[in-house]
Amino acid sequence: MKGLMMDIPLTVTSIMHHAERFSGKTEIVSVSNDNPRHKYNYKEAFRRVRCLANAFQGWKLIQGDRVATLAWNDHRHLETYYATSCAGYVCHTINPRLFPEQIIYIINHAADSYVFLDPDFLSLIEDVSDQCAHVRGWIVMTSSELMPKTNMSNVICYETLIEENSDEFFWPELDENSACALCYTSGTTGNPKGVLYSHRSTVLHTYGAMMPDALNVSSSDVVLPIVPMFHVNAWGTPYCCPAAGAKMVMPGNKMGDGPTLAALINEEKVTTSAGVPTVWLNLLNHLRASGETVDSLKRVTVGGSACPLSIMEEFDSYGVDTRHAWGMTEMSPLGTSNPTGAHREQYSPDAFSAIRTNVGRPIYGVDVKIVDDQGLELPWDGDAFGALKVRGPWICSGYYEVANSEAHSEDGWFETGDVATIDAQGFVAITDRTKDVIKSGGEWISSIEVENCATGHPQVAEAAVIGRPHPKWGERPLLIVVTLGEGEELPVGELKSYFEGKIAKWWIPDDVKFVAEIPHTATGKIQKTKLRDIFKDYVFPE
């Protein structure tokens, strides 16, 4: 027997309609290229979205056409998200930190018809535009007065486009399974691969992400998404905030700037934010140096790479609860979240430190398992390490225009490329990327845990651990460190003894190398492939 419930398509358009009707006066504040504090509300934002949608219609785009963005987090980027998806096109967000060859590759692979870009990225595009055959126009996201000079043809001013188009538009009825957005993985090996989100997956992820144990977004929140809208849809915040009716505060190109972040938090009374560990380091360094506080801030979600305990403990001193989360582009991105900070009184201080650094339990909607080399499921005992597999309605079932995906198995699970343990309560701890694991004497060492411990040393700014060949153990860990004293070296013996009692003795790195800088990927992660290349001739001392 079938249920008797309305079959209403789950679309991004419904999020827009809801926010416009019920939270029209809720504010959106952005740092944009032409205004350090642009302020308006959802009603005005979605009025301008209709102007853009009319512009698309004038360009005779066909449903499903890809329209790209190369932009920071601000109100114009938000408008472009909604205008593209709700009018039936696909919003293809491009990470400007990718190499120019990768940008050319993905613009061509996606066959983008128009590209919206911030003026900051015009010179990047000037260098590559003649290699992007499908692109019919480049829209610079600024006012007519500030339009930069360029020799490129088909360049359009964003604000002129809004002015010239009517704000009356009849939104099409969309199939909930049609594509709404596209984001390419950074492609550390091979070409970047496109993850194509549907309206349905986006709406379901929005419900999941808003839940109290996930991002916990409500109408009384003021949300500062520091995670970029050019990578995995800023962890879904551009959908969660309008859906919940939360005020949005967007940092524009200042997302790595501690003083701007502190000013935005204090001026706009930000209650919650989301970002990768590096941005939190910038904010905390600024607070430490300036003596400022962030009194309105209650919660930050940290993910994208492992969050060191030292960041969590420093946030504690400002009264801010850190929530460790894990996910990936292929998962829209939220997979797990660790809200234990909300009930820390249940734990002893040591137990709390141990539990809060894992990435928590799956958000309802996401299922997980760990498997061994033969694909057999491993026990959830907190010890067994295995390849982490996931499934769920907001996890990709394949890559855009890629015939065979090795990561997708026939039984419907997606292999994340991460190695993890799961304990009896279902708490997941990410040990490593599969390609980064260190195997010493046949046993695995978690480079993430060793790095986390090293970062707790008061003189260590950033740490990375890689495996190097060893005649006896097969592989041993080599620690690479950037010290706070910019390149200043510490005694190796002293650093090694720092680990004693904190991690298993045989996990302690055999040697330490001091560098001025650790290389990062376009998404801000430690680039282990490059580190392994830099230290390819390294030999452990006898």
- Catalytic positions: 185, 330, 439, 444
Can residue 324 be called a binding residue for ligand ADP (CB under 6 A)?
Answer: yes
The three-class DSSP label of residue 537 is coil
Compare residues 271 and 305 and give the one whose CB is closer to ligand ADP.
305
Can residue 328 be called a binding residue for ligand ADP (CB under 6 A)?
Answer: yes
Can residue 326 be called a binding residue for ligand ADP (CB under 6 A)?
Answer: yes
Q: Which of 119, 245, 304, 360 binds ligand ADP (CB under 6 A)?
A: 304
Compare residues 236 and 303 and give the one whose CB is closer to ligand ADP.
303
Compare residues 203 and 430 and give the one whose CB is closer to ligand ADP.
430
Q: What are the b/e assignments for 60-78, b being 16+ CB within 10 Å?
A: ebeeebbbbbbbbbbbbbb
Compare residues 276 and 512 and give the one whose CB is closer to ligand ADP.
276
Q: How far is the CB of 272 from ligand ADP (least distance, A)?
A: 17
Q: How far is the CB of 372 from ligand ADP (least distance, A)?
A: 19
Q: Which of 73, 102, 129, 185 binds ligand ADP (CB under 6 A)?
A: 185
Q: Which stretch binds ligand ADP (CB under 6 A): 113-121, 245-253, 328-336, 456-464?
A: 328-336
CB 53, CB 30: distance < 8 Å: no
CB 483, CB 514: distance < 8 Å: yes
DSSP state of 211: S
Q: What are the b/e assignments for 21-36, b being 16+ CB within 10 Å?
A: eebeebebbbbbbeee
CB 324, CB 358: distance < 8 Å: yes
Q: How far is the CB of 411 from ligand ADP (least distance, A)?
A: 20
Does the bond joining 242 to the residue before it have cis omega, within 30 degrees of 0? no
Three state DSSP letters for 378-424:
CCCCCCCCEEEEEECCCCCCCCCCCCCCCCECCCCCEEEEEEEEECC
Can residue 337 be called a binding residue for ligand ADP (CB under 6 A)?
Answer: no
Q: How far is the CB of 60 from ligand ADP (least distance, A)?
A: 33
Q: How many residues bind ligand ADP (CB under 6 A)?
A: 21
Q: How far is the CB of 387 from ligand ADP (least distance, A)?
A: 11
Nearest CA to 276 out of 238, 249, 316, 311 is that of 311
Can residue 50 be called a binding residue for ligand ADP (CB under 6 A)?
Answer: no
Q: How far is the CB of 30 from ligand ADP (least distance, A)?
A: 23
Compare residues 206 and 416 and give the one whose CB is closer to ligand ADP.
416
Can residue 306 be called a binding residue for ligand ADP (CB under 6 A)?
Answer: yes
The residue assigned the tokens 């919650």 is 272
Pairing of strands 179-184, 90-93: parallel
Letters for 513-542 (x = contact with ligand ADP by CB under 6 A, - = none) are ----------x-x-----------------
Can residue 303 be called a binding residue for ligand ADP (CB under 6 A)?
Answer: yes
CB 40, CB 27: distance < 8 Å: yes
Residue 317, judged by CB atoms within 10 A of its CB (0-12, 13-18, 19+), counts as exposed
Compare residues 23 and 431 and give the one whose CB is closer to ligand ADP.
431
Can residue 216 be called a binding residue for ligand ADP (CB under 6 A)?
Answer: no
Can residue 238 be called a binding residue for ligand ADP (CB under 6 A)?
Answer: no
Can residue 329 be called a binding residue for ligand ADP (CB under 6 A)?
Answer: yes
Compare residues 185 and 216 and give the one whose CB is closer to ligand ADP.
185
Can residue 26 be called a binding residue for ligand ADP (CB under 6 A)?
Answer: no
The three-class DSSP label of residue 327 is strand
Q: How far is the CB of 93 from ligand ADP (least distance, A)?
A: 12
CB 63, CB 54: distance < 8 Å: no
Can residue 361 be called a binding residue for ligand ADP (CB under 6 A)?
Answer: no
Nearest CA to 325 out of 290, 284, 356 is that of 356
Compare residues 222 and 325 and give the one whose CB is closer to ligand ADP.
325
Q: How far is the CB of 511 from ligand ADP (least distance, A)?
A: 24
Pairing of strands 299-302, 272-275: parallel
Q: Where are the beta strands (DSSP E) in 284-338?
A: 299-302, 321-327, 334-338
Residues in the chain: 542
160/167 Cα distance (integer angstroms): 13
Letters for 414-453 (x = contact with ligand ADP by CB under 6 A, - = none) are --xxx-----------x--x--------------x-----
Site for ligand ADP in 66-125 (CB under 6 A): none
Q: How far is the CB of 184 from ligand ADP (least distance, A)?
A: 8
Q: Where are the beta strands (DSSP E) in 315-363?
A: 321-327, 334-338, 361-362
CB 232, CB 207: distance < 8 Å: no
Return residues touching ligand ADP (CB under 6 A). Answer: 185-186, 232, 303-306, 324, 326, 328-329, 333, 359, 416-418, 430, 433, 448, 523, 525
